Amino acid sequence: MSRNTRIALVFGGFITAIAAAFYPILFYPLAHEEEYKKAQKVNRAGINQADIQPVGVKVWSDPYKPVDK
């Protein structure tokens, strides 16, 4: 195997590893938005957000809702 081929395989493997690490963090949640909305609804049921937030901190909001400008 030539040196250039070996370098290309190592570099390609590194890029593949980075992409594989970022998929579940960034791309899966964006592709399965409804699933995450349902999970948050279940997880936050019965919680009064204002009681557990520190003073002066914004109350939780839907991370999938577009921000109004």
10-36 residue pLDDT tens: 999 999 999 999 999 888 988 998 998
d(CA 44, CA 42): 6
Instruction: Supply the pTM of this predicted model.
Output: 0.49
Is the sign of the CA dihedral 53, 55, 58, 59 positive or negative?
positive
Measured between its terminal Cα atoms, the distance across the chain in Å is: 56
Mean pLDDT, rounded, of the chain:
85
